[in-house]
Amino acid sequence: MEWEYLVEKAIKAKENAYVPYSEFRVGAAVLTDSGKVFVGCNVENASYGAAICAERTAVVKAVSEGDTKIKAIAITSDSQDYTFPCGICRQVIAEFCDEETQVICSNKNGKYVRYYVKDILPHAFTKKDLL
Q: Which residues are catalytic?
A: 55
Cα separation, 99 vs 10, in Å, equals 22
Biggest CA pair distance of the chain: 43
Contact in structure between 34 and 70 (CB atoms under 8 Å): no
- Three-state SS for 120? helix
